[in-house]
Amino acid sequence: MRTDHLEELELDLLLEGIYRRYGYDFRQYARGSLRRRVERRVQDERVGSVTALTDKILRDPAAMDRLVYELSINVTAMFRDPTFYQAFRDKVVPLLRTYPFIRIWNAGCSTGEETFSLAILLHENGLYERTRIYATDMNDRVLARAAEGTFPLDKMRGYTENYIRAGGQKAFSEYYSTTLGGAKFHSSLTDNVVFAQHNLASDRAFNEFNVVMCRNVMIYFDRELQEHVHGLFHDSLVNFGILALGRKETLQLSAYEDRYEEIDRMERIYRKVS
Amino acid sequence: MSAPEIVVIGCSWGGLKALRRILSGLPEDFPAAIAVAQHRDARSSEGLPAAIQSATSLEIRDVIDKEPIVAGRVYLAPPDYHLLVEPGSFALSTEGAVMFARPSVDVLFESAAVSYGEAVVAVVLTGANEDGAAGARAVKDHGGSVVVQDPRTAERGEMPRAALATTDPDAVLALDDIAAFLTNVCTVSTGGN
């Protein structure tokens, strides 16, 4: 095993510089994906190297914004993994029915595909009216896009298929209007959503939740930062609160494994028990 | 030269058959880890590990994020994720598709090149696109080895041909000869039999 030392050093210096200049901490991000995104910035900013990008970013906050945006974009889909939403409806919704008021944290919501899917699912199961969803991301530009609730029209066919496979009960097109800018989802779906900036790497717990949903976000973190975030989620969940991770994420590598029981093994849905 | 620690394999059209052929020719004490990016449909490929498992006694599984890399195991990129190699473990990503593919062979190869350098052997198999060509080049640039399936023995030759156009490979082999080659390069240089 080895790493390319010069490339690694340049990346270290960029991340250290960003942390000290802007307070964003990417030092514990998994390197492979981070490196690809930084390389993309090197190309798009038309600078010759990571070191030249560091130089530019330290002096130009707009270049920094563009990097944070790049790091905040994850290409997901509405009702990605339809079987997850089926499991959520079959196994989590009955638990949520026992609460008079439900708070859900959708952590790392990026452009909002998951938030809208969740809102639709809760709506169809009669729970949306008594739910508040806190949809957070570190980047305010992606949050603004999420709050806008407009998604590309050419995605709607795939999203509709996902919705049907997830057990959706209506015609998916009832949820949006076709506009020049794309499929605009009805604003009633965000009536009970609070979009707020929150950085999992550096910000604290801010409320108590019945559900924390954080799918395919922690995959960008190294093990140490993942563990830190698991601590944050554990602190944020009520007793018997639900933690939902991505299909290829596991609690098994974490010291928090014993604090949860499995609700659905395949779909990575857990319940806090201690 | 250090012994190869990880074999990365990229395949697309016809890949399942080719993978089974190669894995069935590897010994059960194969001394390196094997990571595979096979283009697969997000909706219908949950059964891929099982479909390949019957060909080999090596343990096959879809990767879980941050899973440690263990020699003698076969790791598949899960559907609709990129698979990246970090030093000692795997990582997943849902960045956009690269050349219309997620998982992308280039992403797997490039991350392996950076993390494992000359201890990487990359294998480009059958496929009807050009994914893997840039990644094979990165593996060479970082001192690793590249094996390309002879396009004439591939169900689709586009992918191996694209790799041959960007890279000067260490070997161009018929499908049936790849397993023996991998066993040799991974075993001989560790001083084993």
Backbone phi, psi, residue A76, to 5°: -120, -170
Rounded (10°) CA dihedral B76, B77, B83, B88: -20
* pLDDT beyond 50 at B193: no
Chain B contact for A46 (CB, 8 A cutoff): no
CA atoms of A254 and A233, how far apart (whole Å): 13
Q: Check CB contact under 8 Å for B87 and A32.
A: no
Q: Is A126 left (phi over 0), alpha (psi -120 to 50) or beta?
A: left
* pLDDT beyond 50 at B168: yes
pLDDT score, position A10: 96
Q: How does the average pLDDT of chain A come out, rounded? A: 96
pLDDT score, position A5: 81
Tokens of A9: 């050093």
* pLDDT beyond 70 at B170: yes
Q: How far is B177 from chain A (nearest CA, A)?
A: 27
Q: Check CB contact under 8 Å for A80 and B80.
A: yes
Across residues A225-233, what is the average pLDDT? 98
Longest CA pairwise span in chain A (Å):
58
Query: Contacts of residue A247 in chain B, CB cutoff 8 Å?
Result: 78
Q: Check CB contact under 8 Å for A75 and B94.
A: yes
* pLDDT beyond 80 at A121: yes
Q: How far is A130 from chain B (nearest CA, A)?
A: 32
Across residues A160-183, what is the average pLDDT? 96
Longest CA pairwise span in chain B (Å):
43
Dump the DSSP string for A145-203. HHHHTEE-GGGHHHHHHHHHHTT--S-GGGGEEEETTEEEE-GGGGTTEEEEE--TTT-
Across residues B100-124, what is the average pLDDT? 96
User: pLDDT tens digit string along A61-96?
Assistant: 999 999 999 999 888 999 999 999 999 999 999 999
Q: In whole angstroms, how far apart are CA B144 and each of A2, A186, B3, B57, B149?
A: 12, 53, 10, 27, 17
Q: How would you classify the pairing of strands A193-197 and A131-137?
A: parallel
In chain A, which residue's Cα lies nearest the Cα of B120? A1
Residue B157, H or E segment: none
Tokens of A32: 């492979």
Confidence of residue A188 (pLDDT cuts 50, 70, 90): very high
- How many residues does the structure list for chain B? 193
Query: Contacts of residue A114 in chain B, CB cutoff 8 Å?
Result: none
User: pLDDT tens digit string along A239-258?
Assistant: 999 999 999 999 998 999 99
User: pLDDT tens digit string along B30-48?
Assistant: 999 999 999 987 665 678 8
Chain B contact for A108 (CB, 8 A cutoff): no
Query: Contacts of residue A223 in chain B, CB cutoff 8 Å?
Result: 66, 89
Look up the pTM and report it: 0.94
CA atoms of B135 and B98, how far apart (whole Å): 12
Q: Check CB contact under 8 Å for A248 and B64.
A: yes
Q: Omega before A152 cis (within 30°)?
A: no
Confidence of residue B100 (pLDDT cuts 50, 70, 90): confident
Residues sharing a CB contact under 8 Å with residue B50, sequence separation 6 or more, in sequence order: none
B12 included as an active-site residue: yes
Annotated catalytic residue: which of B104, B131, B142, B145?
B131
B112, B147, B145: which is closest to B33 by C-alpha? B112
Confidence of residue B192 (pLDDT cuts 50, 70, 90): very low
Q: What percent of chain A has pLDDT over 90?
A: 95
Burial environment of residue A62 by CB neighbours within 10 A (0 to 12, 13 to 18, 19 or more): exposed
Across residues A163-187, what is the average pLDDT? 96
Instruction: Decide which of A6 and B176 is more confident.
Output: B176
B39 included as an active-site residue: yes
Across residues B137-150, what is the average pLDDT? 97
Confidence of residue A269 (pLDDT cuts 50, 70, 90): very high
- ipTM at complex level: 0.93
A261, A216, A222: which is closest to A113 by C-alpha? A216
